[in-house]
Structure 1
């Protein structure tokens, strides 16, 4: 194979990878948010909080924003971001020297991570665009890290744009939210994905959700499910937690179609926040391979206590 062919194949593969990374942000259901970002680009706010959508959609949209603020395509040549110039490609791949991407998807964002970013904030961006500081799943910030970040947000940082990503704004400290321009991506569909029938795993998660709502109301049925041999493993438990998180978002936004979402809708915002914290703890426990039956029983007990104590 010639060297030219090898280079071409590498470039094509890289372009395909970038396209796959950006695909969630380019979906038609997020056209409204992309329109807002284009209007904000002329005078970008220091902090944007992106909620809603899925984890992948929030991450992709933050990279779209980074590309938009740093694209080198001349406005007379086409619409920005071009997603093809060197600056766009490096931002999307998270290789740009003005990109800081703190990823809280697998573990908490530590104070040392925030301190490392703060160490360069007093300097101008290295290139001609904006320095981007993206905190993916910012709800995983530890208390010390959140306070350190707050100090950075309290001081004007010309040339620097912060992006906080979280499922719902309620997952973050109110002081962080108050300093942010909040953009809400289209919420994940309750149940099946848009335009598609629910698959077996989605149906199973929904059945667990119905059982959780029934247990919270009557105190019956749940422990028989978790004790049933072969009915619960780590994968099932993780899907149940994700389902519970999605139905909480549905209840908060007034889309209470499932039994579980209707249960959530019957309590106040303080309970919503506490349920969200419980779900986050369950998710973390499952990552560390705590027995899924124990995690699910704790989840059910906490949700039932919270909902019975604080009916709105």
Structure 2
């Protein structure tokens, strides 16, 4: 099929970028509007969900290249091409599909010396915490040299998951964190079950052992919810029942271990490890820490 045919058959740009248009991200879009007048070489988008981070990155790519009124118009061919990653000035390295390797970065570096074909070349590194050490170093070499007409966009759950040298070269914007209070009923049900397991109730393994008990999306939402609860507990704002449980059961050292465990769970889910196995791994560790912590 021709490139023109692919564009005509592609999903509408506004549907793909819809998560970026949520009122939750009005502040971030406002900052990006101002930055469009003096484009930084490297943006780092943290917070939000993986889909929201991706949508904001694609919105930014369309914003830099759309020639329509009220850019991005999300209806022209250029916006559609960037939203669907089909423009020759769009490079998308997807860490959600596995480790971003040095060969991936080298392939991008090979064209950086050439001017973009349109207004801006946009290089997106999704789930950039998946960068291997060699790949990260190769990327750093690219960032050390000014690249007019090129915008790098790093996407990660938290800036702490990236090499400090990458963060120091980036303009960091934080998307609205997933809501730590009310959440999807299915996610709340799993959080309640986990709280019960930590408190000594039975039935957790029967729940996770059921065929198709939880999918990747729900598990990722649960991990994001737990990360928010942990943040509330660490800052003394343990207003929710789960945050209060963490405060009552875990000391500071155990909370740090939980933070690392949640990050590992997030990575495992992105790499398509069985969600039930990931949650069992998390639950058994949380149970053990709750029993050995000085707060228990």
TM-score (norm 2): 0.80
Q: Does the CA-based 8 Å contact 2:47-2:177 persist in structure 1?
A: yes
The DSSP-based 3-state class of the residue aligned with 1:63 is helix
Q: Which runs of 5+ in 2 are unaligned?
A: none
Q: Would you say the 8 A contact 2:227–2:259 is kept in 1?
A: no
| Residue 224 (structure 2) aligns with | 245
Residue 273 of structure 1 deviates from its aligned partner by: 5.2
Query: In the alignment, which of 97, 103, 110 is matched to residue 94 of structure 2?
Result: 103
Number of residue-to-residue matches in the alignment? 281
Structure 1 residue 33: Cα displacement: 1.0
Alpha carbons of 1:237 and 1:22: their partners in 2 closer, same or farther (altered >3 Å)?
Answer: closer
Equivalent position of 1:71 in the other structure: 66
Aligned counterpart, 1:120: 111
Q: Distance in 2 between matches of 1:31 and 1:185?
A: 9
Shift of 1:305: 6.3
Between stretches 53-62 and 82-91, larger displacement belongs to: 82-91
Determine the structure 2 residue equivalent to 1:205.
190
How far 1:102 moved relative to its partner?
1.0
Structure 2 counterparts to residues 270-289 of structure 1, below 5 A: 271=257, 274-283=260-269, 287-289=272-274
Distance 1:100 1:211 in 2: 45
Tell me how far apart the structure 1 counterparts of residues 139 and 225 of structure 2 sit (CA, whole Å). 27
Pairing 1:140–2:119 present:
no
Give, in angstroms, the shift of residue 271 of structure 1: 4.2
Residues 25 and 62 (structure 1), Cα distance of their counterparts in 2 relative to 1, 3 Å cut: same
Match of 1:39 among 20, 28, 34: 34
Residue 168 of structure 1: how far off its partner (Å): 1.7
- TM-score norm. by structure 1 comes to 0.76
Compared CA separation, residues 289 and 279, structure 1 to 2 (3 A) = closer
Structure 1 residues 227 and 251, CA, compared in 2 at 3 Å: closer, same or farther? closer
Report if the CA contact (8 A) 1:226-1:232 is conserved. Answer: no
Which secondary structure does the structure 2 equivalent of 1:80 belong to?
A: coil
Unaligned runs of 5+ in 1: 1-6
